[in-house]
Amino acid sequence: MDFLPADLAAYADVHTTSESDTLRRLNRDTHAHVLWPRMLSGHVQGRLLAFISQMVRPRRILEIGTYTGYSALCLAEGLTPDGRLITIDKNEELETMARQYWAESPYAHQIDLRVGNAPDVIKTLTDEVFDLVFIDADKENYALYYDMIFDHVRSGGFIMADNVLWSGKVIDPTQAGDPVTQAVMAFNQKIHDDPRVENILLPVRDGIMIARKR
C-alpha cells in the first residue's frame, strides 16, 4: 500500500491534523496486538473519512467491516446529534477492544455494532436509509454489498469502498488468475459503469472508491 516514497508519505502525515489521543492509542494497540494491522485505516485515511463525514453530516451511516473500530470513530465525527452508525463485523473477538475505545469517545452511544455475516445483517436493515456507506470487508463480496445496500442509500448519498487499488495488483498482469484481485477490478468497473452514480477513485493509501448516488 506504500505507493508514495516514504519521505513524501511522512511529509503528508506531518501536515495532516493529528489523531485524537484515543485514535492514536487505538492505532498503536492494533499494531501491537492484532493480526493484519494494515487493515486499520490509519491517520491520514482516517482524517479523510472524518472530513467526508463532516461534510455530509449524515444521520445514518453504515459501515461493513469494523475491525478494531478505528474507522467507525472517524466516521462518527460527522454524525448529526441524533445520528447513528451501524457497523457490521463477523469477528466477535475484536468487539471488546473496539468497544473499549469507543467508550472513551463522545460517540459511543451512537455506534451500533452488529456481529454476524454481513449479508445476513444487511437483510435486517430494511427500514434504514443511509446517507453514507463505507465498505471495508471481504473484497470478493464488495459487489454483493453494493447491490444489497444501494436501494437503502438516499439520493445524493455516498458509498465508499476501501482497498480498491489492492496494493497495486489491479494493474499487475501477473494477477490475472487471482480471484480476489479480479473481484476488486470487477467491482471498480461495476461502479464506473453504473449510470446511477458519479464516482471518483482516490489514490489515497490503498485506494478509496467514492460513488455519489444521483
35 or 95: which carries more pLDDT confidence? 95
CATH assignment of 6-213, given 3.40.50.150, 3.30.1490.190, 3.20.20.480, 3.40.718.10?
3.40.50.150
In this predicted structure, the answer to whether residue 90 has a pLDDT above a threshold of 70 is yes
pLDDT confidence of residue 3: 75
Cell of 94: 475484536
State pTM to two decimals.
Answer: 0.96
Q: In angstroms, what CA-CA distances link 13 with 9, 46, 48, 52, 205?
A: 6, 11, 12, 18, 11
49 and 28 Cβ atoms separated by less than 8 Å: no
Indicate the domain borders of the chain.
6-213
> Over the chain, what HEC string results?
CCCCCHHHHHHHHHCCCCCCHHHHHHHHHHHHHCCCHHHCCCHHHHHHHHHHHHHHCCCEEEEECCCCCHHHHHHHCCCCCCCEEEEEECCHHHHHHHHHHHCCCCCHHHEEEEECCHHHHHCCCCCCCEEEEEECCCHHHHHHHHHHHHCCEEEEEEEEEECCCHHHHHHCHHHCCCHHHHHHHHHHHHHHHCCCEEEEEECCCCCEEEEEEC
CB 200 within 8 A of CB 159: no
Q: What is the pLDDT of residue 1?
A: 66
pLDDT tens for 29-63 read 999 999 888 889 999 999 999 999 999 999 999 99
Residue 4 confidence (pLDDT): 80
Instruction: Extract the C-alpha cell encoding 112.
Output: 451500533
pLDDT digits (tens, 9 = 90+) for 58-85: 999 999 999 999 999 999 999 999 999 9
Q: b or e along 37-70 (b: 16 or more beta carbons within 10 Å of the residue's beta carbon)? A: bebbbbbbbbbbbbebbeebebbbbbbbbbbbbb
| Phi, psi at 123, each rounded to 5° | -65, -20
